[in-house]
Structure 1
């Protein structure tokens, strides 16, 4: 694996794979993955939806700009998203809906009758909803494989089981050492390491930005009556749960954010139990079985916006991290934005300024 590369990307999940694909054959790219296969961590554990309000107004431009690519290339399928509120939260929900409608997101306000039509068995107390008809399910595995295949055709060199063990900057760029003793050289080093973003920065002698991983839990349930196929993604305005159907089953999350070290995250029984208890506050469905459970790590910068751009103190070090739980739905626009910065191209559909790492200087 010795040789000189223009760009070395640490991490071959959705972030690293999408960036390698968009860079194409313009530069020589080395894509390093610590695990034995790409996408083992956050990418492979996504709840798999695209909705423009998820992540907040600061993330919405990336999500909206990604929608065209995802739709045109067949990675989206109809779903709809419904954010629901209890009595007393009407003003808060109306503000939520108005803030996104002002950004061009389609939002329809629903009363109790509208909620009952979309969520059978809805318990009393839930009085108002904000429905986003444009929400879609994402074929996460298909999108990730598309990016990996595109990058490979363009000449990207992917190396799995290639954990970065050291990175030293020198006059010509970076000298990289892997934990199996192999070495490589690159002019620019890109940190797309997800939950490991800050440790990778420290390894390279770059000041970490405070990108912190948090555990998120999802359980797959069999419920009675059976989950309707046209059930929308249902989210709580207070961010205590969300759920959606999948092949006749229900995917349910307690919307947990538990601080965690970077690791192979595993679900905790208490989090699954909490999710089920919260579901029982919403519907009268009976949970017959927990068929599967998993957890992944969502990594946030201190202001909860992603970090895309060259480090202000180390000019050949590029941040592509802090995507939180919205890295899948924003991948096309984020990769385009980052590739333009790396190649010195003019900005595209999304202004890179809000995501620049120098905001933490």
Structure 2
């Protein structure tokens, strides 16, 4: 039987790989190789995701805003609202935050103590300054992921799980791809959507790693008295030391940690759980009845903390779709559409027309290196 030569092989079937496969599937023969037993086991399956206009900084805003309408139209957003909170000493940070996002298109409003206390019961008196972001919403992460998995299957894309890629070899017409299970596949192009393993995959392909570092993020579920109100906004410390949001009367709380780690099946550390609880008690007088659940996931960042979309500057037929940090889910619609347009050589459409692709191109790192060496 003749072996299938795929147009593209995507490594990874989390939100990144699944969304990109769904976009490419109608136009190309697509293979998706997932190392785990099921897609979305790592970062996607452990996300407490929210669509938050300022998350990731001004450089990510165009992707977030472009994705917003898609997520709303398909029913994946549930209105929440967000509050960045601070104390008297944090006013300069608050001022700087407002200045950073001026002119980016985000909607934010400064609030004082009265407006803050009205939205967050039990907040302590010394928390007196806030920035209100009304458009923030919860994301149905599982629903969005299944949406893309269904779309990729309907397009004819072929998804293979338990397919850990351990060999990538250039050959005439493309790539020979070997897996730990002993299977071999061939594709004209390889797309690196491997999340925390992106640099590892790059090395196997003979490409230079870009310094995409995995970082552990911890989340705990608290049972509190009284129960968390349904209309509580997402609450984030302006200094990035905690955030919390309600979930069915409970609270999901994170110490906003970014612990460097090797790519792995992340697990929470007791010290990070304790740190989260301590920080929460410094901002509210809610009584914690129990820490009911705890988990951790990996978020992977490029050196400049912006995502990496596009062809490798040296290795032909090798594309990057990685480094999406903690904002990969909220930017998935625009990011996947943009990456597919780059790979297929298509022009922009209404979803991507306001996005500057050069900002996210992999060659931005080699250009900086060449400039420094020059």
TM-score by length of 2: 0.95
SS in 2 for 1:263: coil
1:140: how far off?
0.2
* Distance in 1, Cα, partners of 2:171 & 2:315: 11
1:92: how far off?
2.0
* Distance in 1, Cα, partners of 2:153 & 2:324: 24
Q: Is the 8 A contact 2:93 2:239 kept in 1?
A: no
Q: Is the 8 A contact 1:308 1:321 kept in 2?
A: yes
1:170: how far off?
1.7
- Counterpart residue number, 2:345: 344
Q: Do structure 1's residue 311 and structure 2's residue 312 form an aligned pair?
A: yes
- Counterpart residue number, 2:294: 293
1:146: how far off?
0.3
* Distance in 1, Cα, partners of 2:167 & 2:180: 8
* Distance in 2, Cα, partners of 1:105 & 1:128: 19
- Counterpart residue number, 1:329: 330
- Counterpart residue number, 1:353: 358
* Distance in 1, Cα, partners of 2:359 & 2:99: 22
1:101: how far off?
3.8
1:90: how far off?
1.4
- Counterpart residue number, 1:76: 77
Structure 1 segment 267-286 matched on structure 2, within 5 A: 267-286=268-287
* Distance in 1, Cα, partners of 2:3 & 2:224: 54
- Counterpart residue number, 2:217: 216
SS in 2 for 1:25: coil
1:127: how far off?
1.4
List alignment gaps of at least 5 residues for structure 1: none
Structure 1 segment 242-281 matched on structure 2, within 5 A: 242-281=243-282
TM-score by length of 1: 0.99
SS in 1 for 2:89: coil
- Counterpart residue number, 2:114: 113
- Counterpart residue number, 1:27: 28
Deviations, residues 227-280 of structure 1 (Å, cap 9, x unaligned): 011000000010000000011110000000111100000001110110000000
Deviations, residues 156-206 of structure 1 (Å, cap 9, x unaligned): 000000110100012211000111111010001000000000011111111
1:24: how far off?
2.7
Structure 1 segment 88-237 matched on structure 2, within 5 A: 88-237=89-238
- Counterpart residue number, 1:3: 4
Q: Is the 8 A contact 1:2 1:182 kept in 2?
A: no
1:2: how far off?
4.2
Deviates more, 1:297-306 or 1:96-105: 96-105
SS in 1 for 2:217: strand
Q: Is the 8 A contact 2:84 2:131 kept in 1?
A: yes
* Distance in 2, Cα, partners of 1:216 & 1:92: 23
Deviations, residues 298-344 of structure 1 (Å, cap 9, x unaligned): 00011111000000101210000000011000000100110000000
Stretches of 4+ aligned residues off by more than 3 angstroms: none
